[in-house]
Amino acid sequence: MTRVIGSETMAPRGLDEARSTPGAVEREVAAPFAYGGMRVAWVEDGVACTTVRLPEEHALHAGRARPAAADVEVEVVPTRRPPPSGDARAMRWAWSGSTGRAESGWAALVVEQIAERRFRVQAHTVAGAAGRAAILSLLAPTVVERLGGLVLHATAVVLGGRAVLFIGPSGAGKTTSARHMGEATWLARDRAIVVRDELGRWQAWGAPGGDDVPLEHASDVVAPLGAVLRVLRSEGASRIVPLPPASALLRLRESIQSGATDRDGEHGALDAAARLLREVPVAAVEVALGCRLADVVAPFVSERAHDEPATRTAATPVSP
């Protein structure tokens, strides 16, 4: 039985620019490389690549190979299929047993799960850096959701070595919250991938896209997940607000970028969100303009780094 688990529109800004801008900035990254929860080996023309050229926006989120959620070998088959006339950002994937099929306007993938955390991929795409970016943008959510991870609409920063995700709908203040994080560095500007690695630890990975954040880019492409915070506006002091489990689950669900088209897919997303909620602090943060938000967030994250969910309490409010 074939189960459709995703249909969405979420291609990153960098991919759009690489498609449409002549001379778009590209950069080579060493292969194998880490990207979006995966450790990726790359094969083109039957040869294992030691470097892969990507658009700058994607190269920002590709780092050195490390413990990841999955090992993925990608074999690229260039195609002369012209760019689509419709929405090239729409992505769709489905699994039948251990075989997944995924497609967007710029790439088509056949994904074989050959072990619990090993995948082999045959990828058809247009030649060049933009085609490679299309593969990665489609492949990451296909594999990560298969492993019980999530793609979240979030801005992510790294503070004290741990990732803090600000979630909420467009206009909620995710980027503004990141700007108030002082010496933190940014990991993701619009989308973050969260998944447990091969050692069972929740990790946060950046993904391309989003508005510029006036912080330094994080020195690594992945960080241990410290907290997920739903941004709320405040006219008083900035503070952490605990959420009842049902409310926290709802806040997570509204930020999941999955677009599951059937009941099983929705159940899978909710199961992953519930597991995340049990194992990672999820709360709301009321943000007052001008506040040093890091002074509120840092104690909350550090105090709960090893806490059980039942012992989580709110951090002390800090006035702006």
**pLDDT reported for residue 314:** 35
**Calpha distance 175→190 (Å, rounded):** 8
Which class does domain 150-311 fall in? alpha beta
pLDDT one-digit tens code per residue, 202-236: 999 999 988 888 899 998 999 999 999 999 988 78
Answer whether 227's CB lies under 8 Å from 301's CB.
yes
3-class state of residue 76 by DSSP: strand
**Global pTM value:** 0.86
Tens place of pLDDT per residue across the chain (320 aa): 333 444 454 544 444 444 444 457 999 999 999 999 999 999 999 999 999 999 999 999 999 877 789 999 999 988 766 555 445 567 888 888 999 999 888 899 999 999 999 999 999 998 899 999 999 999 999 999 999 999 999 999 999 999 999 999 998 999 999 999 988 999 999 999 999 988 899 999 999 988 888 899 998 999 999 999 999 988 789 999 999 999 999 999 999 987 555 566 678 889 999 999 999 999 999 999 888 999 999 999 988 775 544 333 333 333 33
Return the DSSP state at 182: T
Domain-by-domain residue ranges, the chain? 3-146, 150-311
Phi, psi for 153 (deg, rounded to 5): -75, 100
**pLDDT reported for residue 8:** 52
Q: At what angle do helices 263-279 and 129-146 cross, to 10 degrees?
A: 80
C-alpha pair distances (Å), 87 with each of 10, 11, 24, 81? 11, 10, 21, 15
Distance, C-alpha 203 to centroid of its chain: 10
Residue of 150, 136, 190 lying closest to 280 (CA atoms): 150
C-alpha pair distances (Å), 165 with each of 52, 217, 220, 221, 307? 29, 15, 16, 14, 18
**pLDDT reported for residue 85:** 42
Q: Name, in order, each residue with C-beta under 8 angstroms of 146's C-beta and a sequence gap of 6 or more.
A: 95, 100, 113
**pLDDT reported for residue 17:** 41
Q: Name, in order, each residue with C-beta under 8 angstroms of 82's C-beta and a sequence gap of 6 or more.
A: none
pLDDT one-digit tens code per residue, 2-56: 334 444 545 444 444 444 444 579 999 999 999 999 999 999 999 999 999 999 9
